[in-house]
Amino acid sequence: MQTLLVTGGAGFVGSNLCLAFRVFWPQARIIALDNLRRRGSELNLPRLEAAGVEFVSGDVRKPEDLQFGDVDVVVECSAEPSVLAGRDGGTDYVVHTNLMGTYNCLELCRRTRAGMVFLSTSRVYPFGALGGLPLEEAESRFVLPAGFTGQGVSEAGIAESFPLEGARSLYGATKLASELLITEYVEMFDLPIVVNRCGVLTGPWQMGKVDQGVVVLWMARHLFGGTLSYIGYRGTGKQVRDILHAEDLADLLRLQIENLSEHKGAVYNVGGGLDGSVSLQELTGWCEKISGRSIEMGVEKGDRPGDVPWYVTDTAKVRAATGWRPTRGVEGILTDVHDWICEHREDLRPILG
């Protein structure tokens, strides 16, 4: 591995990947490009510098910021990642960053014959179809009925063949549109590009906020105080997500990047899977147990637009293709997040507090 460009490289996922790549490939040149749009990404700059990762201030919306001559692999982690982005009418940033940014990165790949790992999202799956699953209410979470199967769905989770018709948020739509562009670049220009549709990613250095980064937000509120609410689904807190540690994602990317041509054109659902799933109610329990603190939990009964009650990643395809599996479970992830916040409490207070 010679030169890796990580766009959004100062963000949560990007910075963790850069640091993992430094360990995987000590001799590689690793470039982190970021416009520092996300509040808190600036806290990652000293970590990148200490690891010998080159930081470049740049914007994926601007082709002139992507004039690199000798890139081998682009890892596209830049994004406006909020599922609520654009709902207030401010659609420009999410579309230009998430869609035109991908296009500009693809053009860089075409010019330099670089491969790409694209971080897509489970949000490509429409919220109407996910909301229509016949969920049952167990004590602390929603569950699919035992033995239930439908197109692209089983108790193991949502597979790549889940139907794609319907609205999915501008965030999800810009990612799916990027995937379509990628398919064409793979076919027309024979570029080795792999797409990972990730569920909830989390871990230390995620600057969690109400609309993105719920696991860190939950633990931060337990540590700094403040309020949290179960929103929607009658305020039960039974909505379910699977969660994946950024270091587990890095382990997968290592396998993919080392054999990128084998994964050319592949689309994988990537996440913690059923074993790594948790409801909000259960998340509260874990945060209380690990932090030793509890906070009052509010309830907002009205559903949030575009929200889904249950998303668990069926990882069968990516496991079969790579041999990868996540190794860090819910308790381990939350303990890591807890310890990180405690260690950097004062730096994080203005952002997470």
Ligand X SMILES: NC(=O)c1ccc[n+]([C@@H]2O[C@H](COP(=O)([O-])OP(=O)(O)OC[C@H]3O[C@@H](n4cnc5c(N)ncnc54)[C@H](O)[C@@H]3O)[C@@H](O)[C@H]2O)c1
Using the rule CB under 6 A, which residue among 4, 8, 237, 334 binds ligand X? 8
Specify the residue, 56 or 235, whose C-beta has the smaller distance to ligand X: 56
Please report how close the Cβ of residue 215 comes to ligand X at its closest, in angstroms: 9
Report 179-208 residues binding ligand X (CB under 6 A).
198, 200-201
Integer angstrom CA distances of residue 4 from 13, 26, 42, 50, 351: 15, 12, 20, 17, 29
Figure out which of the listed residues 101, 157, 203, 326 binds ligand X, where binding follows CB under 6 A.
Answer: 101
Applying CB under 6 A, among 5, 12, 117, 326 the residue interacting with ligand X is: 12
Q: Exposed, middle or buried: residue 2 (CB in 10 Å: 0-12, 13-18, 19+)?
A: exposed
For residues 326 and 248, the answer to whether their CB atoms sit within 8 Å is yes
Q: How far is 309 from 237, CA to CA, in rounded Å? A: 9
Q: How far is the CB of 122 from ligand X (least distance, A)?
A: 7
String marking each residue 290-309 x if it binds ligand X according to CB under 6 A:
--------------------
Supply 316's token pair.
Answer: 């069968």
Q: Does 276 bind ligand X (CB under 6 A)?
A: no
- Which residue lies nearest ligand X, judged by its C-beta? 11
**What contacts 292, CB < 8 A, 6 or more positions away?**
none
Q: Is 121 exposed, middle or buried (0-12, 13-18, 19+ CB in 10 A)?
A: buried
Which CB, 83 or 287, lies closer to ligand X? 83
- Take residue 327 and report the two structure tokens written for it: 């190794």
Give the x-and-dash track for 19-48 against ligand X (CB under 6 A).
---------------xxxxx--x-------
* Structure tokens belonging to residue 118: 């694209």
Residues 46-75 that bind ligand X (CB under 6 A): 59-61
3-state class of 55 per DSSP?
Answer: strand
Of the two residues 97 and 291, which places its CB atom closer to ligand X in the complex? 97
Rounded to the nearest whole angstrom, what is the least distance from the CB of residue 278 to ligand X in the complex? 14
Q: Which of residues 121-180 bind ligand X (CB under 6 A)?
A: 121
**What's the half-sphere exposure (Cβ side, CA atoms, 13 Å) at 180?**
11
**Contact pick of 79, 191, 223, 334 for ligand X (by CB under 6 A):** 79
Distance, in Å, from the CA atom of 75 to the CA atom of 112, rounded to the nearest integer, reads 14
User: Closer CB to ligand X, residue 235 or residue 304?
Assistant: 304
* Binding region for ligand X (CB under 6 A): 7-8, 10-14, 34-38, 41, 59-61, 77-81, 97, 101, 119, 121, 198, 200-201
